[in-house]
Every structure is written in C-alpha cells, then in structure tokens.
A and B are shown apart, each in its own frame.
Chain A
Amino acid sequence: MSKSKLKIAFYWAASCGGCEIAVLDINEKILDVVQIADIVFWPVAMDIKYKDVEAMSDKYIDVCFFNGGIRNSEQEHLAKLLRQKSKLLVAYGACAHLGGVPGLANVANRKEVFEKVYATTFSTANPDNITPKPTVHVKEGELDIPEFYDTVRTLDQVVAVDYYVPGCPPAVERTLFAVDVIAKGELPPKGSVLAPLKSVCDECPRKKENKKITKIYRTYEKAPEPERCLLEQGIVCMGPATRGGCGARCLNADMPCTGCGGPCPNSPEQGAAMISALASILGLEEEKEKYTQEEVESLISQIKDPLGTFYMYALPASILRRKVVKE
C-alpha cells in the first residue's frame, strides 16, 4: 500500500435503515471499496462512540455518507459534528437529499405526531398520556433524550452539503458512480447531484403514444399492459417529474415511479412539475364545447392524496417545506 487509504464514515439520521443495506447492495464491489478505504465510523455496523468522533481532528474523515433527514436534536448535532470532521459530506439517499418519506410528517407538527403515535392509534394503550420529554427527573438524577422537532429538515437545510446521491434507497449504479468519482478524484462541481440530468422517462423502456387520459387508476385497480407508458394507461407515475439514474427499475417491475430520485434540475419543485405534467395529459379538450369546470373537478378528484403522491419524498425540500399549522 503506497497511497494512504481514504477514511470513510457512514451515518444514519431520520431514515429507515434501507440506505445502510443499499451500501451492501454493491455486493462483491464492497471488497474493492475496502481496498481503497478504511471505514472509521458506521454506527449500524461498528462499535465506535460519538465521543470517538468528537476526538477526531477537523477534516479527519475524507468522505462521510450521511443518510436520513434531520428531525431531532441528536441528528442535528451529528450533522454539524460530521460536517466539521469531514472533507466531503455526501447526502446519501432521498431522506438526506430531500427529507424523504419521514418528511411527510411535515403535514403535522410535534403535537399532532405525538397525539397520533402515543394516543389515538388503535393499538396504543397509554392511559396516563405519556409522551417523550427531552428531560426526565428520576431518583438517580436527570435523564436526557434528544428533542423531537416540529419540522423535518433536509441535510442541506442544516449544514453545507458537497454532493447528493439520490434514490430511496440509491440504486447500485448510483452508489458505484459516487464511489468511483470520489476514488478517482473526478468530482463534478460542489453541490451536484450525482445522477443524470434527464428524467426517469428518458430511461423508461415503455412506449409513449401521446394519449390523453380520462380515468385515473390506483395501482391495485388495474393490471397494466406491459409495454405501454403507465401514465397513458391512467396510473399516476412520477417519472416525468423525477430525475433518472435508477434505470427506471420500478417501471421495469410494472410499478409506477413514486419520485424518489427527486426533481429534475430544470424543474426543482417536484410536486409542481408533476401537477404540470399531469394537467397536460388529463384529456378533455377533444370535447371542447362541452368542457366544464365540474368535469375537471371530477377528473381530478380521482387522484387520492395529491400532496402525498406529488411530494412523497420531497416535501421538506419543497418551496413551502411544510403544512401551515394553525395554533
């Protein structure tokens, strides 16, 4: 070994753990990674304490892959700490990049989330209405747990982020691409998303016929024809509003894109881009003279949960970031 090895860290914040597994999805290529890199911090796999990270000198870590959004004080602390200790901070996966599925909690605040989780769900028995408090007094003294925030934030809303690896979880080819450009030192300008510029449709093998749709189906309501565009079959597919780089793997499995790759660079508000695309394909103008606003409304009312569909992964990264909650 002539060259010194890269020092790599992995951390998880508000995420499901799928990104940790995605790291291992690169299979035997992980051996190549270990050839060029030492893993210095990885809570899911290694026993290294936070104080060990605090003891590292600044910029000690070469690359930190950070997955998960920021929804409590522990995650915020670690984001700031790892930023300080890392030369490159990479937002890995949809949650760190855009807030991800946990970011959908931004339609509520802490009070509402606690109410649902600790009081009103069917399987909950909590007669004393106990909810997590940051500080608790017990007879041995005071105990602290991280403070739960009202709003889920993306990693770059808390600290500066150098690169983004999109996906929920990132596709194998995206992870390999990121490792490859880092290892070779051929990195694009800072702030880049390490994915192609075009949408999922660009990679999708399905045929588009520029057909308008007049009925919308949920995925369980219809077995899609195998080779035609799902959107043109009336199944809401986020492909046109979503950045590619995944090889359209959901579309290849007969499932619509749900948007995990985040927005395309030329249309950074993903939900708005999908509203535009969907509005263009909803067809009524063949019957121009008969077009009424009521018909539009009834067509649109077939879309269940529009916010959850159009912003499944990108709510915290959207223009409004969260629902307005009136106190």
Chain B
Amino acid sequence: MSKNNGFKPKIIGFLCNWCSYAGADLAGVSRIQYPPNIRIIRVMCSGRIDPAFILEAFKDGADGVLVAGCHLPSDCHYLTGNFKASRRVALLRKVLKEFGIEPERVRLEWVSASEGDRFAAIVRDMVEQIRKLGPSPLKNMEAKA
C-alpha cells in the first residue's frame, strides 16, 4: 500500500445539464466540502456519453470516470437518456474488464438537482475507492513503452 501514498486520483466527471450538474452546483453554493480530485465536464444528457469518451479519458490519464444523470425511471429531460446511459456503462464495464482495466473505475450515479450533499458524498466515496485501487494500470504501461 505504501506505493499509493501521495497518490492523487484524477477523476473525470461527466454530469448531465439538467440534474447532476445542477446537483454539483448546489454542493458548491452550499459550501459542502468534497475532494478536488474530480474534473467536471457538463454534457446535455447522460445518454450523450459515447463510451469512446470514457475510453479516451482513460487513455489521457484518468484514474476513474464518473457518469451522473437524472434519476430512473422518469427524471430524464429527454425521457430515456438515462436508461441508455445505464446500459452503455454496463456494457462498457464488461469490455473494460477485458481490456485489463478494473470496471470499478467507471461509476454511474443518479444525482438530482436538489442532491448537493449526495453528489459530495459520491465524490468523497469514489476518490477513496480509486485511491484504494491505485493509479490507472494504463499509466504503468505507458511508462514502460
């Protein structure tokens, strides 16, 4: 475990415009503390997340990726974007495992606009989880190549 001392996970967060980004915003204006390891990218809908975005994030050095959208079943602004996101992420996780990347590095959560504290708790929990997993295995490989 000593090698993970001082490891600061880099997490990319894809948050949907209508619920989760507003939830993160609420966490901010409410001064709720959460670790600064997450870099947030706002997208219109969790259904907009092409699995290629997540793969690209790992290639560019992310240790974890959070996808957050509106609660199932009926909060999605576009009706079914969150359903599609849930199946995409589930399928991608299977493929990631075959690529040798721990599927736990990708996390899908539902956060509504009123759940600032939930958002902060998810980020805290995820940072801790990624810290335990250690740096992305891709980094190790690139260092060798």
Contacts and interface: CB of A to CB of B under 8 A. Distances in A.
A319 B56 contact: yes
B100 A276 contact: no
B83 A284 contact: yes
B74 A320 contact: no
Instruction: Tell me which of A107, A271, A280, A324 has the highest count of chain B C-beta atoms within 10 A of its own C-beta.
Output: A324
Contacts, number: 91
A272 B72 CA distance: 23
A240 to B, nearest CB: 13
Given A272-B52, A320-B138, A306 B90 contact: no
A273 to B, nearest CB: 7
A307 B98 contact: yes
Contacts of B141: 324-325
Interface string B117-145: 00000000000000000000110110000
Interface residues of B, number: 29
Interface in A308-327: 310, 318-320, 323-326
A168 to B, nearest CB: 21
Nearest to A308: B98
B87 A269 contact: no
Nearest to B136: A324
Contacts of A320: 55, 58-59, 99, 101, 138
Contacts of A282: 87
Interface of A: 107, 267-269, 271-273, 275-276, 278-280, 282, 284-285, 288-289, 291, 293, 296-297, 299-300, 303, 306-307, 310, 318-320, 323-326
7 contacts: A272-B55, A284-B83, A285-B83, A299-B87, A300-B87, A324-B100, A324-B141
Given A324-B137, A324-B141, 6 more contacts: A269-B50, A269-B55, A275-B91, A291-B72, A297-B90, A325-B100
